[in-house]
Amino acid sequence: MSTHKEPAAAPPPTTPVQLTPYAAIPGYAVTGIFLILTVQALVWAGEFLIPVTAAMLGYFVLNRPRRWLEKFGIAPVVSVAILTLFLTTFVVVTLINLSGPVAQFIDDMPSLMAEIDRKLNAAGGTLQTIDEASQAAEDILSSTSSQPETVEVQIASESGLASMVVGYAPAMLSQLIFAQLLLFFLVASGDMFVLKAVESFPLFKDKRRAVNVIRAIENRLGRYLGGITAINAGLGVCIGIAMAIWGLPSVIFLGVMGFALNFVPFLGGLFGASIAAAIAFVSLNGTWPALGVFLTYMALTSIEGQLITPALISRRMKLNTPVVFLSVAFFAWIWSVIGMVVALPILIVIKIVCDETGKFTTLSRFIGDIDGKQNESKAAAEDAADDIPKIL
């Protein structure tokens, strides 16, 4: 009996798994995933990024005054202490002086809205005809309906505007303190931020370009924010005087409100005019005076936005209006009201980086155009040439 066995058949060959190389992935897919993750990160870390962004913008604005004081032998720590003390004192004094009118306005808001509703729905009021037509339509529908009559129950909420403000106050205060501390350390460090940015580039031309970008941001952003602050202060004074002429109460509050809201592009003036018109509707007892107050407020903001600001600031900085509107809407979506305030400065920084690096010319032209850019770039390059030996 033979014990010889036939050899086992070889297994069939298997097809190796082909892994898709990274280069085969479309570039737009990678870019889209990156943008989605970036937006989600901005939303998720908003409470941390809002004060960090505010501190970085403040650093670019205050760094030039700090450097100017350093020429007189004043140390960076002393200069930033002077600047932050002045800023803190201004904010504290402003809040103390406005605490009474703001608290009174918040307390009067429910009664103000109730009074507006009463006057609009009273006999001969603006909404009387609409109410009568609506009531007639409801009577017709109820007469043809066989359903039993239902009783509407309205649940009154005890949480009003004041409780909402109190609820948000601790978070806002903590973010304000964090932003101010970070701003203090950034400015007190002197040129260390510039030094670290320069050291991260291996080539001398890249180092010079980095210093050039930072100096350009300091020049243009400082000029823009300083000019806008001065213009908005003048606008607030004009609004307060105009509201006093109309005979409205709390004209100081309305003037400061006009100053603060004008930092929000597009929507700030409309929101402030609506509040002033609501106050006028109750205090002046009429629709036409309220309309006059609204038009007066909008006329002042229009003169500022169409004549004064373009003549003093926008003459050298022309941004694409739809892009500005979309940036304001985007940052309002992810960071609420604070996002609307910082949206335009962030867009200006992006525009300056695109201009100075020269690698994103298409995006730079899409965002807008800056007249006199060559002169400013030349001045920034000269500052960079002077600063590089000191830094290195």
pLDDT digits 0-9 by tens, 103-158: 666 666 666 677 666 766 665 555 555 556 566 666 665 655 545 555 555 544 44
Round to whole Å and give the CA distance between 369 and 352: 10
Residue bearing the bigger pLDDT, 217 or 7: 217
99-113, 155-169, 299-313: lowest mean pLDDT where? 155-169
At residue 297, the pLDDT reads: 94
Round to whole Å and give the CA distance between 84 and 86: 5
pTM for the whole structure: 0.71
Name the domain count of the chain: 1
pLDDT digits 0-9 by tens, 20-76 = 555 556 667 788 888 889 889 988 988 899 999 988 888 888 888 888 888 888 888
Q: What angle do CA 281, 285, 291 make, to 5 degrees?
A: 40
Q: Is residue 246 part of a domain?
A: no
93-97, 183-187, 202-206: lowest mean pLDDT where? 93-97
Contact 169, 44 (CB under 8 A): no
Residue bearing the bigger pLDDT, 310 or 375: 310
Nearest to 208 by CA among 15, 367, 377, 359: 377
Q: Is 288 helix (H, G, I), strand (E, B) or coil?
A: helix
Q: Is residue 266 part of a domain?
A: no
Name the token pair of 312: 């003093």
DSSP H helices, 13-75, are: 27-44, 46-70
Is the per-residue pLDDT at 303 higher than 60? yes
Question: Which residue range forms the structural domain that includes residue 54?
Answer: 27-121+169-188
CA distance from start to end of the chain: 93
Residue bearing the bigger pLDDT, 210 or 259: 259
Contact 302, 366 (CB under 8 A): no
Q: Is residue 371 part of a domain?
A: no
Q: Is residue 91 part of a domain?
A: yes
- One-letter amino acid of 190: G
Q: Is residue 47 part of a domain?
A: yes
Q: Is residue 315 part of a domain?
A: no
Q: What angle do CA 236, 343, 196 make, to 5 degrees?
A: 115
At residue 336, the pLDDT reads: 84
Count of CA atoms in the C-beta half-sphere (13 A) of 333: 8
Q: From the CB of residue 222, how many other CB atoms can be counted at a distance below 10 Å?
A: 17
pLDDT digits 0-9 by tens, 340-374 = 888 888 998 888 888 887 777 888 888 877 544 54
pLDDT digits 0-9 by tens, 283-299 = 887 788 889 999 999 99
Q: Is residue 12 part of a domain?
A: no
Contact 95, 260 (CB under 8 A): no
